[in-house]
Amino acid sequence: MTEQPRRTAQRAAIQEEIARAPGFISAQELHGRLASAGYGIGLATVYRTLQSLADRGVLDVLRRDNETLYRHCASEEHHHHLVCRQCGATVEVSGADVEAWAVRVATEAGFTNISHTLELDGICRDCTWANTVAASTNDPAEKPSMQGNTRATEERG
C-alpha cells in the first residue's frame, strides 16, 4: 500500500479542483484552473500530486492522443471507461466477462499476478444525434464542437 503524502494546502487545492471538474482533465488544464483561481502552484507539483493520487486509486487515468487525463474516481471497485470521442462524456462500466477474459488470456500465456486497463471509446447518443442533425442541415455552423470533457459523467455497474 502506498503511503499517503503529507496534506498540504497545495495538494488540498488540487484535489478540490479535480473533484469539481465535470469529466477528465489534463494536468495543464487543471494547472490553468488553479492559476485562474489565484493559487500559485507549479505545474510540476500538479503532475506529482496527480500521479500520487492516481497511484493511490483516488483518480481515474485515461490516456488519449499522447495526453494523460485525470478524473476523480467515482467508484472504489475495479472498473473500465466508455468515453465519447467528441465531447468526453464518460460512463464507468464493470464487467465480469472482461475480467474473466483477462485472466484466461494471461493464464493461457503463462502469466500470473496480472493487472489490466481497458478503455472503450465511441460516439455517445447525444453527439450521434447532434451529428445527424448537423448532417441533415449540412450547415458547418451546426456541427458539434470537438472540444471535450465538458459533460458530466455517468456511472453504470
DSSP secondary structure string for all residues of 57-97? TSEEEEEETTEEEEEE---SS--EEEEETTT--EEEE--HH
Instruction: Answer with the residue of higher pLDDT: 77 or 37.
Output: 37
Q: What is the pLDDT of residue 149?
A: 44
Q: What is the pLDDT of residue 39?
A: 93
Do residues 90 and 82 make contact, with C-beta atoms less than 8 angstroms apart? yes
pLDDT of 92 strictly over 50? yes
Per-residue pLDDT tens digits for 17-69:
999 988 889 999 999 999 999 999 999 999 999 999 988 888 888 887 788 98
C-alpha 49/C-alpha 138 separation (Å) is 45
Residue where the block lists cell 498540504:
8
Q: What is the pLDDT of residue 1?
A: 47
Reported as a pLDDT band with limits 50, 70 and 90, residue 156 is very low
pTM of the model: 0.62
